[in-house]
């Protein structure tokens, strides 16, 4: 089953990058956080083949001694019901694939490609100006 779960997350990532899968920022609280876990950044949701999914980054305490701890960051992908309650959490052994998915989702939701295209519209590299600037530092 582990190979299939990695393949599922890999396909989610590919379809996100290709724009086939749309994610939205969830404004609702993440009910599956427990104990000392706390949300970092935004939570994102999507629906795939009738299943709702949520993706988010959180941190938790990692105890190094009885009363000493450091905060450790994690990314969680889970199935959620219509009330945003967690139904099932993807296991930690697919975390590297989930991290890649998380970065793709953030990139797409932030519309980075759209910004880059608009910002660079009409811009051309000018080697002469670059050489003139370099000459100033010689």
Hey, what are 99's tokens?
């991290």
The answer to which of 3-7, 99-103, 121-125 has the lowest mean pLDDT is: 121-125
Model pLDDT for residues 41-61, shown as the tens digit of each residue? 999 999 999 999 999 999 998
3-class secondary structure per residue, 81-128: CCCCCEEEECCHHHHHHHHHHHHHHHHHHCCHHHHHHHHHCCCCCCHH
Hey, what are 14's tokens?
């590919």
Task: Note the pLDDT of residue 63.
Answer: 86
Hey, what are 63's tokens?
């105890």
Model pLDDT for residues 19-38, shown as the tens digit of each residue? 999 999 999 999 999 999 99
Spatial contact of 74 and 53, defined as CB atoms under 8 Å apart: no
Instruction: Count CA within 13 A, CB hemisphere, residue 14.
Output: 6
The pTM for the full model equals 0.83
Model pLDDT for residues 67-99, shown as the tens digit of each residue? 898 999 999 999 999 999 999 999 989 999 999
Question: Residue 130: beta bridge partners?
Answer: none
Q: At what angle do helices 2-17 and 95-109 cross, to 10 degrees?
A: 10
């Amino acid at each position: 089953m582990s190979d299939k779960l990695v393949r599922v997350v890999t396909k989610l990532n590919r379809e996100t990058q290709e724009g086939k899968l749309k994610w939205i920022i969830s404004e609702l609280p993440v009910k599956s956080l427990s104990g000392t876990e706390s949300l970092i950044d935004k939570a994102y949701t999507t629906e795939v083949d009738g299943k709702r999914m949520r993706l988010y980054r959180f941190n938790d305490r990692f105890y190094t001694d009885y009363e000493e701890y450091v905060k450790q960051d994690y990314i969680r992908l889970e199935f959620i019901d219509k009330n945003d309650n967690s139904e099932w959490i993807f296991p930690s052994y697919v975390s590297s694939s989930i991290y890649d998915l998380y970065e793709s989702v953030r990139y797409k939701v932030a519309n980075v490609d759209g910004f880059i295209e608009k910002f660079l519209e009409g811009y051309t590299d000018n080697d002469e100006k670059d050489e003139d600037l370099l000459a100033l530092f010689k």
